[in-house]
Amino acid sequence: MRFGTLILSFLIAIVLWGMAHGTTSKDRGFDIPIVFEGMPDELVITERSASTLNIRVLGNAAALRNVDPTRLEYRVDVSEAQPGPGVHEVDATLIDLPRGARILSRSPARVEFNFESRGRKSVRVRPEVEGEPAEGYYVVGLETEPRSVWLTGARREVLRLSEVTTETIQMDELTSSLEREVRLSLGSNEHVWPEEEGSVTVRIEIAPVPQPVIPEPATTGAVEKLGEA
């Protein structure tokens, strides 16, 4: 009888322990991306004070287990945006959480950003090369395909560009022509990008250095005729 009572008490203790741990609230932090939706085609975002939002979520163990951080995001509607600076006050109630979980805090409380008008321009592509061919060889020609590309992005940055370079190609010790596909390098222009993604082809034509032509010496017969003259 005592053994049965002991077993029953043990089972009740396990149930109570599980209920206590299942209902005790805990908090956990998550970093979720801030997503701008409805971006007007004629605008480009050039500045933002934050790209992620940190939230503290309170809930029991079961609720917290159901929070999938890979599916969380904070959406900001910018469909009515105009060129210039803007501020968005973060509304944590817009974040979809499982039942039994709620947000304790969020940081930052506001997101500041700046929009600029979009521009586009066709610029030439300049191949970027380093080094020298092997001794006795020289560069005959250097070209890209395509020779120019369309760029788009923040209007002020786009319009001041006259060319765009490729990734660097090494020519050290080349003894034959080379063709290589490389990507464009936009340097410090963070808010400019090619309208068409992909690589460009760089062709480097290498040839042997022409040898000087040495005139043949005059023949004996020719010398005798000159002497007679």
Does the domain at residues 24-108 carry the CATH identifier 2.60.120? no
Domain locations in the chain?
24-108, 118-208
pLDDT of residue 209: 92
* Residue 70 DSSP code: G
Q: Which residues contact residue 188 at a Cβ distance below 8 angstroms, ignoring those fewer than 6 apart?
A: none
Q: Which residues contact residue 178 at a Cβ distance below 8 angstroms, ignoring those fewer than 6 apart?
A: 169, 171, 203, 204, 206
Alpha-helix runs per DSSP H in 109-187:
155-159
Q: Cα–Cα distance between 183 and 198 in angstroms, integer?
A: 7
118-208 adopts what CATH topology? RNA Polymerase Alpha Subunit; Chain A, domain 2 (2.170.120)
Q: Cα–Cα distance between 196 and 66 in angstroms, integer?
A: 41
Q: Is the whole-model pTM more than 0.75?
A: no
pLDDT of 155 above 80: yes
pLDDT tens per residue, range 12-44: 655 455 554 555 778 889 999 999 999 999 999
pLDDT of 1 above 60: no
Average pLDDT rounded to a whole number, residues 109-129: 96
Nearest to 91 by CA among 116, 74, 67: 74
Residue 189's identity, in one-letter code, is: N
